[in-house]
Structure 1
Amino acid sequence: MSGTQQNRHSVRGRIVDALRCRAGLVVVITAVTARTILLTAGLLMLWAAVPTVFGATVTTVQSGSMEPAIRVGDVVTAVTVDPGHLTEGRVALVAAPDRPERRVLHRIVDVEHGAVTLRGDANPQPDAQPVPVEHVVGVGVLRVPWIGLPGTWVRTGAVPELVVLVLALGVLLRASTSDRNLRRGMEPCVACGAPSSGDLHRAQQADRARRHLALPTAAAVLVGALVIGTGVSASFTAGVSTAADLDTARFPCMRETVGSPLLAYGFGEPDGTDIDDVTGGGAEGSLFNAVRVDASCAGNPYIHLDGTTGAVYATKRFSAPQQFTIQAWFRAEKPQGKVMGFSSAAFGGSGSFDRHMYVGADGRLVFGVTNGSARVIQSTARVDDRQWHHAVGVMGSGGMQLWVDGVLQGQNTNARAAAYNGYWRVGLESLYGWPNRPVTHYFDGDIDSVAVWHTALDQSAIHSLWEHGR
């Protein structure tokens, strides 16, 4: 063979080895991803089940009466509290008055004469019968989403979903071990070299051991999901000393809302900079130089912005909606700053910004969008009076409306706004070029119960939000 032919064969061999190594990398990435998914599922089940060790009650949600805050398949942990700490706004697990063996997870809307009145967030009316406080099993302190779905599918006979689950577990299990030869040197890349006979023997032994453990591991994941889904529970004997003990970042004060909001911040987390999107839609927020004012759910926790640096930034990007409703409760200290709005950038300055409500230089609330130019509606009275106000801005096919404290402030026929992608913000964004522009874009005061719908709410829904309160 000539030197040229040998070189060609050498180059071809290196190319084959390189492709083989790249294929090995794909196998490793696939296997690591599968193991991560299985481990995450296992840890979620463990996180859902561990509270029973400490005497809490764990139950799986079987209906959609508490959506969007709590969904079918969510696993909720409840702990007992003293009757004096059963306050409005808490999510309570109770024994149903007509069927004591049945558990109901609804929100407390009234406490009177030794009984609590409940209502599911998705239900138009309160439950028919008040529940005596002695029938309250506990109040919710922890929610693990979706992990109870397999048990729910078993209970309801959802065969297609169960088949898909078993097949998915099988695929994940197979994928999780697909890199075993590469990890043990039984299938080397060009840079690895061939394994010695001793290494190969040890690798084969380890591989057999892993295969012996693989099936029990997958079975544990499946059985764990089914057991949790059936509503694991245990009696709880220790009381909670104060309502503040229940203010955990894992189970925020999920206030009632209407419809299906795309984003909702209740600011019920007791610490940290993370803000939970209580709709479960994944649009979590982040505090920047904002102060939490913590309280029990009945005390209505909120955030304070100092008018110079504070803001809340959402982390999920959306397409700017052409039909939408925005809501916020606010208490303004000064005539300045944006309450909430939509921006093309997640942080800092934005090239596009509208769909917002802000306190103008004259103390009136302004709601506006951009459609070639600013289209705005302004409140009839000042709102910088250090009192809580409920503000709702709506744009739909019939035009725009601004509502303050349940009263229509004004409307117009504009039904279009600028199209761009961006993020919802609270407390800050440029107002350059907008009517009644304040001296600073930073809001000074308190904000609570921020929500966004990508639909235009009607008068009845807006009145319901106002009447419910913060």
Structure 2
Amino acid sequence: MEQQRPWSWPWLVACTLAKAVLASVLCLGLWGAAPALLGWLPTTVSSGSMLPRLHVGDVAVSRPLQGAAPTLGSVLLFDDPDHPGRLRLHRFVRVDDDGLLVTRGDANDGDDSSPVTLGAVRGVGTLRVPWVGLPVVWARERALVPLGLALVGLVGLALVAGQSRRFGYPDDAEGPPDGGGDADEAAPAAADEASPADGVVTTRAGRAERSARTARRAALAAAGAALLVLVPALPADAAFTGRTSSRAGLAAAPYFTCAGAVTASSPAVWFRLDETTSTATTATDSSRNARNGVYGSAGKATVTDRACARDTGGAMRFDGASGYLSSAQITGTAPQTFTTAVWFKTTATRGGKLVGYGNVQTGASGVFDRHLYLADTGRVVFGVYAGATKTVISPNPYRDGRWHQAVATLSSAGMRLYLDGDLVASDASTTSAEPVSSGYLRVGFDNLDGWPSAPTSRYFTGTLDDVALYLTALSPAQVEAQYEAGT
């Protein structure tokens, strides 16, 4: 009968190290792959554009936004705008004038050539797993030599680790209780009862079976390790970090800034009210239609407390006594289908005009229509003249000193009034307004005589931002998206 080979310390050390390396590889693979069970996105870094933060072959795990808006400086995983079907992982460095996200690789000299929308962002980098994605990179680049060496190395480690059972390593579950040899060789009495030939056959058969079992286990261990290494396989072109918060889901908030949301809806007039001095006399029309406006009197002041925190610029505070704004003349008959929108903030109890249409640029208009105004109670009123005054009014007041957005639309669907992204009042029977010719968009002041719930003051007291006129009726989804972009 063949005697058990004695255990040696070199084999003990080799098997222990092999198991430790395999366990480390498995743990790294699980570290990169397990977050996918939570809906997180593991991606393999395949370029050096985010060095020294991430290296080629690292796995970066990105957490979905789930309604959150990323902060400047975080690293975003997003659909590559220059290579459809691919992902990119670069740092978020700023927001451009159109409200799009500008990104850059840490190792690159300049910004990426194509900005991206918030809707293209898949997640924010949260976890880095070093080197574990190298086999993915080698496979994608057809680097067969390092890939083959890695697989051979894994198989070799598994085979060495498996020798602990063959050579009587203490964790051998099939060994006898006293730590002796294999079960087939542990009963000399049974061997004595058989012929020498039978003993040889039994011993060789046992060794063959154990060798086959060891090989199978080694192959399974190697396959499992390789599978876990290859799981985080979505390719991306860079790096990792950061995160922040906001209110809406991506489906409801495809724009990161109010500027991006307004631009996407093609305004006919858009006053961002970003003038840098309180003495400014001209209000820039950011709609690109060059209908720059004029400020009346000195009753205004620039403030940094803007409605949309992620936008650049500021807002304009009006004193409720003399401050207002009028657009350049808008030639042609006032539209019958339109949207007016404004962000406002006030605690005043005298109401005031927010935005509307008038037939003169300065002073009180003789013909005035298409109003959004605040009643003394703080409730918001939307009114048009269609043979008689027609109004809808919000059920709640909005003079709590916080930013709110009011949006009014008129179309064949009737009058609709939205506050903070929600439809709060409507009138489906009123589908037209007074045909004012060559009028002006009036902001912060104009005539309201004779209108229901007319405020004590024609002048608005408080802060205004992002006043816009559209020649279409924004849909409920567009209105919600505009509001969500500012929260």
**TM-score, normalised with respect to structure 1:** 0.49
State TM-score, norm by structure 2: 0.47
Higher relative contact order (CA 8 A, sep 6+): 2
Greater C-alpha Rg = 2
